[in-house]
Structure 1
Amino acid sequence: MHRIPILLFTLLFSCCRGASQQQPATVQTDSVPAYRLDRASRDGIGKFYQGREIAQVMGHLGASWLERPGREQEERTDLLLKALALKPTYVVADIGAGTGYFTFLMAPKVSKGKVLAVDIQPEMIDYLNEGKANRKIINVEPVLGTESDPKLTANSIDLAILIDAYHEFSYPREMMSHIASALKPGGRIVLVEYRAEDPNVQIKELHKLSVPQATKEMKAIGLKLLKNDDRLPQQHIMFFGK
């Protein structure tokens, strides 16, 4: 029943940078070809990683979609919050935090810690600062990252969560390497992604991710799948660690 708003969202708010025609090429990382560039598909940017074309990115004009009234019921963000089992002292990085919808749900759960709300768009940082002020929350810290670096200190976070964001990373290997370096001993990275294995999930293919594909991509930077929690109606909750 969510087909129409999802299609409208994709058409209205996806960036167009992937639409240009590119010549096949490779990018070297540590003497290994990390990326392949080719002709972009309709919903991709023409850049491939581990056999997967990277999806176009949602711009800040999609802020209203992130704050839509039906989001909790559609995605069951209440169940996601329970699945994380946050402790009061945790330092959590919300990567691709956007307007802070989930950031501000997590903040009360880490009352003695904090949430680092990371985004690469200054407009989203403005939303986060406004939301922080309106809610009078002191344990949320907006962080302006880049496409390849979330600007997190090494050995500083207990958990990093990426909600429907990883599949859009222009530099997934670099970003995830930085995030992994930011983990404290025993820290975890959580990928929340629409299930590519489920044809009933009405999301465009490049905006979904399967467990095997995610596992392969995380293995490339030294992470292993610890658990795949399937309590959400449409999304995987994949826990990775060193």
Structure 2
Amino acid sequence: MGNIVNTEQAQAWNGYEGAHWARNQDRWDAVNAGFNAPLLTAASIGPHDRVLDIGCGAGQTTRLAARRASGGHAVGLDLSAPMLERARLTARHEGLDNVTFEQGDAQVHPWAEGAYDVAISRYGVLFFADPVAAFAHIGRALRPGGRSAFICAAHAEDNEWLRAFAELRDLLPIGGFGEPGGPGMFSLADADRTRGLLSAAGFERVETTRVQAHGVWGRDAADAAGFLLASGPGRHLLSQVTPETQERALHRLTEILRPYEREGTVPLLSTALLVTAVRPD
């Protein structure tokens, strides 16, 4: 796998979290697929482009990029061996021969300088131990004038699934979960801070745009509640309370999600920042 500096995230994504996402690839894609179109449109991938997908997970965005770069190539990078195994299997099943997947840490991965035309990411640039160093390293992997487009989680209160979680504060030790700028999923939620980080990393023409999409979290409220609480954050919170409280939290979350049920699905609105930037010529 090469050098790893983000050891905490490597452990998480090669443990329960990575295995959970790999097993539930289709479900997580249903949650996040609404952001694929704005991400790929902003990236402006050409037919001969070389595309780098950071934190590619099970590879849906990498495969979509490979189809747009039909005469080029797409490379997906991720820390998670379980998710990359699923990504490779799916790519082979779909018959894609211009896509590859590599395991590594985007902060230090040994890319050749200027090897790519475009860098993309759907929620894969949120967990860097040193974001300025990581973005600077990604920038060096782009050719002069190369483009980047990243989807990052926006403020927690703008996401319906997080608002549902917040209603469990009297049952679960949620604390400061979801605070912008802190480590984790919402580390880039503050647009001004994020523009500053990318500028400090050497990018130019850094822009952020709020985008929204509904994701499908389950077939009914009970299914969606169980899926949410089985995710990494949910499982972490449940591990800190008694089995009785766990059952109460599941029942409460099911009732919170009941009004969102729509014809065999539970769509919840998510809000993200679409961040675009260019490596200087």
Corresponding residue of 1:200 = 158
Instruction: Flag the 1:111–1:147 CA change in 2: closer, same or farther, 3 A.
Output: closer
Deviation at 1:142, TM superposition (A): 0.9
Which deviations, in whole Å up to 9, do the C-alpha atoms of 1:15-42 show, x marking residues without a partner? xx59xxxxxxxxxxxxxxxxxxxxxxxx
Of residues 79, 96, 108, the one that matches 1:137 is: 96
TM, length-normalised to structure 1: 0.68
1:216 aligns with 2:192: no
Corresponding residue of 1:241 = 278
Which one scores higher on RCO, CA 8 angstroms, separation ≥ 6? 2
1:127 aligns with 2:86: yes
CA distance in 2, matches of 1:147, 1:130: 22
Deviation at 1:160, TM superposition (A): 0.8
Is contact 1:95–1:150 with CA below 8 Å preserved after alignment?
Answer: no
Deviation at 1:210, TM superposition (A): 1.9
Deviation at 1:133, TM superposition (A): 1.3
Corresponding residue of 2:234 = none
CA distance in 2, matches of 1:231, 1:176: 22
CA distance in 2, matches of 1:184, 1:65: 35
- Stretches of structure 2 that go unaligned for 5 or more consecutive residues are 1-7, 163-177, 214-270
Is contact 1:116–1:141 with CA below 8 Å preserved after alignment?
Answer: yes
Is contact 1:67–1:101 with CA below 8 Å preserved after alignment?
Answer: no
Corresponding residue of 1:40 = none
Instruction: Flag the 1:200–1:176 CA change in 2: closer, same or farther, 3 A.
Output: closer
Paired residue secondary structure (2:126): helix
Higher helix share: 2
The residue identity in structure 2 corresponding to 1:185 is P
Deviation at 1:102, TM superposition (A): 1.2
The residue identity in structure 2 corresponding to 1:171 is D
Query: Which contiguous aligned blocks of 4+ residues in structure 1 show a shift greater than 4 angstroms?
Result: none
Of residues 81, 86, 90, the one that matches 2:45 is: 86
CA distance in 2, matches of 1:131, 1:224: 35
1:177 aligns with 2:136: yes
Corresponding residue of 1:118 = 77
**CA RMSD after TM alignment:** 2.7
Identity within the alignment, %:
21
Higher-Rg member (1/2): 2
1:142-157 mapped onto 2 (5 Å cutoff) = 142-146=101-105, 148-157=107-116
Instruction: Flag the 1:229–1:88 CA change in 2: closer, same or farther, 3 A.
Output: farther
Instruction: Flag the 1:190–1:58 CA change in 2: closer, same or farther, 3 A.
Output: farther
Deviation at 1:66, TM superposition (A): 4.4
1:71 aligns with 2:51: no
Deviation at 1:64, TM superposition (A): 4.3
Is contact 2:55–2:122 with CA below 8 Å preserved after alignment?
Answer: yes
Is contact 1:147–1:171 with CA below 8 Å preserved after alignment?
Answer: no
Corresponding residue of 1:167 = 126
The residue identity in structure 2 corresponding to 1:237 is L
Instruction: Flag the 1:101–1:116 CA change in 2: closer, same or farther, 3 A.
Output: same
